[in-house]
Chains A and B, each alone.
Chain A
Amino acid sequence: ETGVTQSPTHLIKTRGQQVTLRCSSQSGHNTVSWYQQALGQGPQFIFQYYREEENGRGNFPPRFSGLQFPNYSSELNVNALELDDSALYLCASSLGQVETQYFGPGTRLLVL
């Protein structure tokens, strides 16, 4: 059974650019949640997708958007990157909205 995978592992962008991060959920999981972990902080909830629909959003601006595909993989898009967007972005999948979440290793984004 393949766990949650994320790509890329690292990337560097400059202010104002756009970025797309990808997440493949664990087999059989229909729910994907995204989190942002800034340095020295705990992960912060960005949003959750359940069966291709957004199912709740944290305190993040609209330039953070996402998608979930029919195979339940997901993308996180961030437009107009700011320096404070530099963080580890974690994706987690689960069998349902309130089931145990299984995390990928994360994508480390650096905005210069």
Chain B
Amino acid sequence: DQQVKQNSPSLSVQEGRISILNCDYTNSMFDYFLWYKKYPAEGPTFLISISSIKDKNEDGRFTVFLNKSAKHLSLHIVPSQPGDSAVYFCLRGSTLGRLYFGRGTQLTVWP
């Protein structure tokens, strides 16, 4: 049972532009969502989260939007930088502490 789906395996964006990474979920019963990013040979690192009672959460260049009616969330990175190039995972979190990962989207930011 895939709790979250990332349908785009890759995204390429020019430096300075906006990166938009998308994620869909199938289960209406959720607690919160998170985004993690992963560089090669490193473990995933926490980026930003959003609870079910919010529509938006912002942290510097990173903003996550939650559209409950569409069961969709997105991560916006503005402006994108070459150091943002990584695999981005959309996750669902639960009160049990389990994390359910999407398949990930490889973001490439080129100069």
Chain A positions near chain B (C-beta within 8 angstroms): 4, 31, 33, 35, 40-45, 48, 50, 55-56, 58, 90, 92, 94, 96-106
Interface residue tally of chain B, by bracket? 20 to 34
Is B42 touching A105 in the complex (CB atoms < 8 A)? yes
Is A98 touching B93 in the complex (CB atoms < 8 A)? yes
Q: A33-B98, A98-B97 are in contact. Are A42 and B43 (CB under 8 A)?
A: no
Is B97 touching A42 in the complex (CB atoms < 8 A)? no
Closest residue of chain A to B93, judged by CB? A98
Q: Can you give 14 A-B contacts (C-beta < 8 A)?
A: A42-B6, A42-B103, A43-B99, A44-B101, A55-B96, A58-B98, A90-B44, A98-B94, A99-B97, A100-B46, A101-B46, A103-B43, A104-B43, A106-B43
Tell me which residues across on chain B come within 8 A of A97, comparing CB atoms.
96-97
Q: How far is the CA of A90 from the CA of B91 in the complex (A)?
A: 15
Closest residue of chain B to A56, judged by CB? B96
Tell me which residues across on chain A come within 8 A of B36, comparing CB atoms.
103
Q: Which of A33, A41, A90, A92 contacts B103 (CB 8 A)?
A: A41
Tell me which residues across on chain A come within 8 A of B97, comparing CB atoms.
31, 33, 48, 50, 55-56, 94, 96-99
